[in-house]
Structures are given as C-alpha cells and as structure tokens.
C-alpha cells in the first residue's frame, strides 16, 4: 500500500505552491482524496467502500472522476501529524484522538469529524492470571496500546482510572503502557513470555486472543462508557471540507451506502474485509465478529460526548464542547447522534 511519507521536499513544495495558487484564485481541488485507516475490523465500513469503489461511484453522480489514495498507518499520533502537515486529507482514529486535534486546531485548521465508523467494544486483555481488575496491575506489568497516553485505548483507560483512583491519578497506568500495533501486541499476548502481558485490544484481535485459554478479559470500553459507543471516526480539516464539497459529499454518501451494504449482507461484508485487508483470519471468525450483537457498523456517532465531557474535566482538553455537533461537520448532524 502507498504511504504518505515518501514525498520529496521538492514535491511538497510544488504541491504547496499549487495549493496556494488555487486558493488565491478561488479554485477548488475537487476530484482527489487521500484516506488513511488503521488495522482491524473497526474499519470495515472503509473496507467495503474500497472493495465496492463507492467513492468513485458517488463521485460520478457528482460529475467527478475521483482519484482515491488509500493508506495504512498505525497509531493516532501519526494520523494527526499526517493530517495537519497536509500529507493526508482524511484520517481515522478513536474518538479521543479526534477530540484532541479538534481542541488544538479550534480557530485554526478547525479539524472536525466526518462520520463514525461503528460502535464496538474494546477489551483490556491479559495473560497474567493474577490480574482480575485494574487494581491488580503493578509496575511490573506492561499494557500494549496503539498510541500510549493519547489513543482511544489509553484515554478510555484514563477515564476508568480516574473513576477508580481519583482524577489526580488518571495517568496512573501511562508509565506501564507501551505503544505497539494491534497485530504485534496480539502475537505477544498469545505467545506469552515477553514483557507485554496485557493489551487493550480491538476487534478482530481481541476475539483472536481470547481463543487462547491463557488470555482473559479485565475490562470492556462499554463498561467505561455505559453501553454501546463509537470506537473510531473519520476526520478532516475545515479547508478540505469547504473547498471540496462534491468530493466530500461523494465520500460521505459512500460511507452511508457501505453501512447499508454491511447490514444487508454481513457474510458478504466479512468476505470484503478478508479481501481488502488480505487477512488470514478464518472467514467463520470474521463472520462471527461482524454478526456480534455488541457491534453496530454505523456512521452515526454514539456516546462520543462522554469523552468530550470527561477529557475536558480532566484537563486534557482546553475547549469545552456544548454537544457532539460541535466537533462533527454538519453532514453528520441529521442522525440521532450522541
């Protein structure tokens, strides 16, 4: 897959000059979109969009031949850097990383969410039989997360830690958290014998890990959030949103159609996941995950405002959101979001 980090300085300069010229003349760079996703079935909506060429389909309805550049990146920090440097148009990560960049760019690039990618639980897993609750973790344990301290899993853990130990200690487990992509963390957890004895995982990796009898669940993100809640979202800058209305609409419409496709035929969606991700997971396992009643592949945000409130209370965010609509572009406002 292509990556956004191989451009030469000259190429970046040329792109910058072209963009400046277009901006000054009021032209719009319609017909191109670069998108990055992370790993896991949490990105199934994007996989279906890609498998069925839905952006291109909806682009034609807008009178555009859209060129789509797909990229894979692990970790929210890298996602946010790529977005803010202009290397990518659209990135994806958990709700907390999106809120972080929304907070930091308010009044500047004005980054906001485009749509949710689905609600699904993330499990904190361990192969340490002595760990039953958060209170059982010690300085000798190591928790693998995609982006230590700032990613979805870390922020979720911080919120639960504040609840258990008090707001002043919300970073209590940051020191034993290690940044590691989900596939590597899963392999370490299953194999055992390494310093990584715990993993705040996500589908499909948590299902794969739980097939090992030495691995058990300590906590679910749904426990922290009080029910079904959005896992990850897509987001972009105000500039891309405003200057590419047709491309943006084609992208949003493609996401909405992908949701309908998944809900209409989940076995076919599971096959699309394996094709696009080139996954070696058994089809039966992927189908089981897609059909899991805890999971809802929907573009409508669910319980995202809990993060906005809690992270602002903990001082992680400076700006206070009055509702979820403050950090989602208006195209998403029609649904019964939260």
Domain count, the chain: 2
Element (H, E) at 222: helix 221-225
Whether 207 and 234 share a structural domain? no
The answer to the question of residue 84 being in a domain is: yes
Task: Please check whether residue 338 lies inside any domain of the structure.
Answer: no
Residue-by-residue DSSP string for 162-177: HHHH-GGGTTTTGGGE
Helix (H) or strand (E) holding 113: strand 112-116
Domain of 246 in residue numbering reads as 9-119+230-332
Instruction: For residue 144, give the CATH number of its domain.
Output: 3.40.190
The answer as to whether 337 is a domain residue is no
Distance between terminal CA atoms of the chain?
34
Is beta strand 198-200 parallel, antiparallel or unpaired with respect to 123-126?
antiparallel
A 10 A CB-CB count for 83 gives 25
User: Phi, psi at residue 216, to the nearest 5°?
Assistant: -140, 160
Domain closes at, from 196, 222, 248: 222
Q: Which of 222, 243, 266 is the last residue in one of the domains?
A: 222
CATH number of the domain within which 271 lies: 3.40.190.10
Is residue 2 a part of any domain in this protein? no
DSSP string, 305-316: HHHHHHHHHTTS
Last residue of a domain, one of 222, 250, 269: 222
Predicted TM-score of the model (pTM): 0.85
Q: What is the pLDDT along the chain (338 residues), one digit of tens a residue?
A: 443 333 333 333 333 433 443 333 333 469 999 999 988 899 999 999 999 999 999 999 989 999 999 998 877 788 899 999 999 999 999 999 999 999 999 999 999 999 999 999 999 999 999 999 999 999 999 999 988 988 899 999 999 999 999 999 999 999 999 999 999 999 999 999 999 999 999 988 999 999 999 999 999 999 999 999 999 999 999 999 999 999 999 999 999 999 999 999 999 999 999 999 999 999 999 999 999 999 999 999 999 999 999 999 999 999 999 999 999 999 999 878 99
Distance CA 122, CA 198 (A): 13
- Residue 132's SS3 state is coil
Burial of 13 (0-12, 13-18, 19+ CB in 10 A): exposed
């Amino acid at each position: 897959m292509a990556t956004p980090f191989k451009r030469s300085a000259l190429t970046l300069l040329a792109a910058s000059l072209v963009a400046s010229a277009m901006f000054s003349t009021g032209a719009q760079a319609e017909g191109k979109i670069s998108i990055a996703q992370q790993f896991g079935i949490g990105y199934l909506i994007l996989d279906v969009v890609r498998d069925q060429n839905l952006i291109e389909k909806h682009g034609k309805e807008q009178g555009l031949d859209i060129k789509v550049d797909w990229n894979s990146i692990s970790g929210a920090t890298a996602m946010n850097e790529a977005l803010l440097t202009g290397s990518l148009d659209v990135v994806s990560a958990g709700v907390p990383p999106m809120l972080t960049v929304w907070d930091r760019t308010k009044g500047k690039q004005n980054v906001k969410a485009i749509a949710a990618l689905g609600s699904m639980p993330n499990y904190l897993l361990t192969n340490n039989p002595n760990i039953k609750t958060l209170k059982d973790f010690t300085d000798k344990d190591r928790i693998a997360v995609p982006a230590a301290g700032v990613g979805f899993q870390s922020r979720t853990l911080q919120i639960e830690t504040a609840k258990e130990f008090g707001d002043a200690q919300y970073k209590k487990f940051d020191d034993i958290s290690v940044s590691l992509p989900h596939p590597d963390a899963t392999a370490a957890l299953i194999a055992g014998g390494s310093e990584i004895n715990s993993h705040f995982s996500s589908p499909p990796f948590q299902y794969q890990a739980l097939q090992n009898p030495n691995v058990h669940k300590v906590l679910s993100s749904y426990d922290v959030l009080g029910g079904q809640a959005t896992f990850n979202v897509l987001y972009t800058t105000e500039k891309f949103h405003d200057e590419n209305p047709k491309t943006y609409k084609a992208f949003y419409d493609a996401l909405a159609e992908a949701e309908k496709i998944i809900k209409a035929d989940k076995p076919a969606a599971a096959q699309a996941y394996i094709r696009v991700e080139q996954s070696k997971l058994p089809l039966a396992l992927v189908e089981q995950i897609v059909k899991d009643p805890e999971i809802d592949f929907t573009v409508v945000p669910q319980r995202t405002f809990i993060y906005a409130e809690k992270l602002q209370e903990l001082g992680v965010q400076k700006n206070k959101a009055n509702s979820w609509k403050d950090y989602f572009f208006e195209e998403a406002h029609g649904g019964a979001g939260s």
